[in-house]
Structures are given as C-alpha cells and as structure tokens.
Amino acid sequence: MSVLKPYRFYRRESIERRALEILRQMQTTPNFSPEWPFEASLVADFLDLGVVWDCIPPDEQGAIAARILPTERLIEINEEIQEKPKGFIESTIAHEIGHWVLHINHDQLESGALKSSDNRFDEPFVCRGATEESHKASIEWQAQYFASCLLMPRHVLEEKRQGRDLTQWRHLYKIKDELGVSISNLTNRLQELGWISIPKGERTIYPGKAA
C-alpha cells in the first residue's frame, strides 16, 4: 500500500484529456471559471489543495524546487523561487498539480486506509527538476506536459494565434503576456503542437509541420 502510484506510461492525448477535464469541470462551477492570464492556484483551490511558500532545505540529492505532502493535501513551493518571473511560478504550481493528478494514489487517500502515524505515508513527493533516471525523467515530463496543457490549452492558443504570426517573436511575447506564462513554456508548447519549429541554438522561428 502506497500513496504513490507505480510508474506507468501516459500518452500525450491521455494527459491532455485529464487537464481539459479539470478545466471543463471548473468552467461549470461557480467562482472557478478559468480566465487568462491563468492563476494555477485557482486549480489547486478547485481540487481542495493548499499551496504554501516555505523554506525547503536541500537534501543529499540537491535542491528541492517544490514538494507535495499527500496526506495533508498540500503543495509546498520553495520560497527561494519567489523572485522568479510570474510565469515560472505558475508553471511550478501547475507542475505540482500534474503530479497530484497523475502520480498520487487517490484511492488510498480517500479510503482512509493511510494512518498518519505511519511515516511511509507522510513522506513528501519531491520535485527536483531534471533527472537522468528514465522513470523519474518520464514522471517529471508527464507533470510538465500536464502543466502546459492546463496553462495553455489548445483551444485558448487557437484564439490567441488569430491575426498573429507565430514566427515573429514580438507576437509570441504578446501571447505569453496574455496567457501569463513564460516565453520558454509557450515556445515549448507550440513546438509540441507542431505549430512552430526553433532549431536548437537558433533564434529564428520556422513554421512547424502542423502549421
């Protein structure tokens, strides 16, 4: 019995559906209708998750950007990133929500089978960022892709691209401001959708295969 799910592979379409379903449920719930620029903490509120800033000291494996305390339904964000751009912070919160949705064993939490006196279940779900371990790297990618779909759903991007040239940086910067995300998150999302292509090490933007 564990509060964390065993590793499993998720297709992109499956992750996107999970994010969109949450947005749809919020759309039909008073006071939770999503608006852009997006506040990821609103999703946390909708899912009955607390979000707090705290000092999270590094451990033997290095710095910890954020973590989830599953039995407390709490997301802790390292206060050291408070000075980061707002888009980075929104992405971090959305990333942790991705872990909550995809990787936490909610059946065990909701069954009441977990005893708070058992330290195995109080152990936080730690987010460190990049990793070379295949399963951990996949889990982090899954959470980040979920965050991208949540913050930048396809239908909203379709609206924002109208009358704009996605191969022009000035247009992308306007879109990122309207969405409340970072420019790197936006360009990564657009490349995943195949709308643009930016060769590694270059600044020139080209139309993508799906453009």
Q: Dig out the tokens for 205 from the structure.
A: 């933007």
Distance CA 82, CA 75 (A): 15
Strands 74-78 and 66-69: antiparallel
pLDDT tens sequence across 116-161? 444 444 567 787 655 455 677 899 999 999 999 999 999 999 999 9
Distance separating alpha carbons of residues 47 and 94, to the nearest angstrom: 12
pLDDT tens digits, one per residue of 69-121: 998 999 999 999 989 999 999 999 999 999 999 999 988 777 665 554 444 44
Give the mean model confidence (pLDDT) for residues 58-76: 90
Q: What's the mean pLDDT in 5-30?
A: 96
Q: How far is CA 138 from the centre of its chain?
A: 14
Q: What is the Cα–Cα distance from 146 to 20, expressed in whole angstroms? A: 9
Provide the CB-side half-sphere exposure for 186 (13 A, CA): 25
Q: How many CA atoms lie within 13 A of 110 on its CB side?
A: 5
Evaluate whether 123 touches 71 at the Cβ level (below 8 Å): no
